[in-house]
Amino acid sequence: MIELVSSLVPIADSFTPFIVDFPFERNYVESIIYVSLYVSLTAVLISTLVSLPIAMLVGFSEFPGKGFVVALINTGMGFPSVVVGLVVLFTVSNEGPLGTFDLMFTTEAMIMSQFVLATPVITGVSLAAVSSIEDGVRDAAYAMGGTRLDVALVTIKEARYGIMTGILAGLGRAISEVGSVLIVGGNIASSDGTSVTRTLTTAIQLEARQGRFETALILGAILVTLVLLVNGIVLRLGGGRV
Amino acid sequence: MTAALAGCTADDEGENAEILDETLTLTTTTSTYDTGLLDEVNAAFEDRYGVAVEAVAQGTGAALETGRSGDSDVVMVHARSLEDEFIRDGYGVNRRDLMFNDFIVVGPEDDPAEIDGMDDVTEAFQAIAETESTFISRGDESGTHTKELAIWDEAGIEPSGEWYREAGSGMGEVLNQANQTPGYTLADRGTFISQQSELDISIRVEGPIERGPDLLANPYGIVAVNPGVHENANYDLAMSYIGFITSREGQEIIEEYTVEGEQLFFPEAVSENPNFQQYVPEDWTPDEE
């Protein structure tokens, strides 16, 4: 119990900025946070751009095998991240199909794998949200002489809270996964401690491996705080109703 | 000459974009990385050459595999048999002996297998197996794992049973696990020292640095990825790196690197009488050509 309390103290400290006995360099943490956010936000942005049209297309149309497609998307939501990491590894490796682009151990490769992880989540949740919009809304939009694009925009507007939840879930999936970014990113920090492909999750993994559990816990607290913050901002932007 | 050269690189910084943009990918073992040695060496190399070194800590097996697929330029590992295979298969060239430390057997204070202070590590392993005391194996094809299997082999034991656990993780994690369980494990001295303050388990069988058996020697080698196999391998930078780390300056950094007052690695690249076997697979003879 005492041990637990003593290990919690540094977490509490980490919430007070500029504390004296921070167990690592500021530059180290800042660059790791930057890489984490850069990779995950970029991946989620691209995922969203791909997911929404798919969700609209599948949600609005009836075709044979639709149930199968939906099942496929839902399966993708639970796809193991290490497997995705391996697939991306084979793709970007020097001997893989994208080998000429030299993407191994880069943030681009990490974005690719997080894109693969986040897309089914965003698509799946958005699809559910879009499907739940009553047909009457779309019919009314058509009746008022709306083009297909207008109707799509109206639907997005109606389903915006569900879609937002999907995007947040996708971001949560991306920023908190460790399996794939470790494999394709390599958890690289330069010799002065600036992160190259090290994210919060891979840094936590590294600190835990070295037995520095307190540092690992602090990084964990930062990660949770970050996700909370992003959620808060999105909720505020969305009018606070999800 | 050095001063003039250094001055020249300093002046050229920013203009000499061709080399400044380049990065050297080094795949290596968790032991060189987790001890902090690489940060020290790489910082000095970057100062000198203006090239960023991206070090990926993977464990010997994975580090060599990454080299095989051409995703790294230079490989620093510690399992001679695997390095030799890498070279024989044509993936690696210009291997050098780099440094050494040793392996140690660590275990809990109460020492259930009663191996404390044994001179013969195979006997110690036999005692662990006979008493079925918990042993945590790396189980990850790393250099340490390769060594551990070689010792079991030497001891004439095929370890199996509930007492033998394959962790499948890095040295640091396995030390933590051995500490929590508690159990015995084979560790490299460097990682153990750098983590010692967090651990209750201690050294039960010493390696050759503290006059233990030679079987526990732990030599590190460095190999460049063959540009003849992988066109995109950054061979010239890889050789600059090998040149730097095996130079007097690089070896001094290794010599002087300490954690908690203890030297972790012992340089062995600079010698008046180089051991020729370091350049080729150990049992290689010219007749093979």
Q: What is the pLDDT of residues B62-71, one digit of tens each?
A: 999 999 999 9
pLDDT of A132 higher than 90:
no
Q: Assign B7 a pLDDT band (cuts: 50, 70, 90).
A: very low
| A79–B contact, CB cutoff 8 A | no
Could you say which DSSP state residue B184 is in? B
Residue pair A129/A166 in contact (Cβ under 8 Å)? The answer is yes
pLDDT tens readout for residues A7-51:
444 444 444 444 445 556 788 899 999 999 999 999 999 999 999
Name every chain B residue with its beta carbon within 8 A of the beta carbon of A193. 39
Q: Please state which of the ranges A131-140, B121-130, B188-197, B272-281 shows the lowest mean pLDDT.
A: A131-140
Q: Which of A72-76, A114-118, A189-193, A211-215 has the highest mean pLDDT?
A: A114-118
Nearest residue to A168 (alpha-carbon basis) of A219, A96, A237, A230: A230
Helices (runs of H) and strands (runs of E) counted in chain B: 12, 12
The predicted structure's pLDDT at residue B35: 87
Q: Assign A230 a pLDDT band (cuts: 50, 70, 90).
A: confident
pLDDT tens readout for residues A50-90:
999 999 899 888 889 999 999 999 999 988 999 999 999 99
The predicted structure's pLDDT at residue A5: 43
| A102–B contact, CB cutoff 8 A | yes
Q: Assign B136 a pLDDT band (cuts: 50, 70, 90).
A: very high
The predicted structure's pLDDT at residue A88: 95
pLDDT tens readout for residues B17-31:
455 678 899 999 988
pLDDT of B287 higher than 80:
no
Q: Looking at the domain A25-237, which fold is it?
A: MetI-like fold (1.10.3720)
Instruction: Round the average pLDDT of chain B to a whole number and report it.
Output: 89
CB atoms within 10 A of CB B277: 13
Nearest residue to A195 (alpha-carbon basis) of A81, A67, A29: A29
- Domains of chain B in start order, with CATH, are 2-101+219-282 (3.40.190.10), 102-216 (3.40.190.10)
The predicted structure's pLDDT at residue A197: 94
Burial class (CB in 10 A: 0-12, 13-18, 19+), B194: buried
Nearest chain B residue to A95 by CA: give it: B69
Name every chain A residue with its beta carbon within 8 A of the beta carbon of B70. 93-95, 99
Structural domain boundaries in chain A: 25-237
The beta-carbon neighbor of B54 closest among A99, A105, A210 is A105
| A3–B contact, CB cutoff 8 A | no
The ipTM is 0.78
Name every chain B residue with its beta carbon within 8 A of the beta carbon of A190. 42, 46, 52-54
Q: Assign A239 a pLDDT band (cuts: 50, 70, 90).
A: low
pLDDT tens readout for residues B151-190:
999 999 999 999 999 998 888 889 999 999 999 999 999 8
The predicted structure's pLDDT at residue B12: 44
CA dihedral (B119, B121, B125, B128) in degrees, to 10, reads 30
